[in-house]
Amino acid sequence: MNKKELIAAVAQRAGVTKKEAANVVGALVDVVMDTLSKGESVKIVGFGTFEVVQRKARKGVNPRTKAPIKIPATKVPKFRPGKELKDKVK
């Protein structure tokens, strides 16, 4: 399911227009991204948790030259599904 299909499904389920659903979905995505960029987490009970985790610096290998390289530490977004979501998928 892509974003356009998600908007259509939300509009149908909520009984609103696609334009209103697009505004809601867009606002949700914006809020999640803004919150994660501040280093905070977003917890949606039953669905899951969006959080930022710190990856340690590590050594890697350039696949072309086989030369060792240093991969710097970085922050990455992570999603952990909630119990209800896990049960629904099973």
Report domain extents, the chain.
Answer: 1-38, 41-90
CATH topology classification for 41-90: HU Protein; Chain A (4.10.520)
Q: What is the structure's pLDDT at 78? A: 97
**pTM value surpassing 0.85:** no
Q: What is the structure's pLDDT at 41? A: 97
Angle at 11 between CA 7 and CA 17, to 5 degrees: 110
Strands 42-44 and 48-55: antiparallel
> Residue 28 CB: number of other CB atoms within 10 A?
13
Q: Summarize pLDDT for 20-72 with one digit per residue, the tens.
A: 999 999 999 999 999 999 999 999 999 999 999 999 999 999 999 999 999 99
Q: What is the structure's pLDDT at 53? A: 96
The CA distance from 25 to 18, in Å, is 10
Query: Whats the size of the chain, residue-wise?
Result: 90
For residue 77, give the DSSP letter. Answer: E
The CA distance from 37 to 69, in Å, is 27
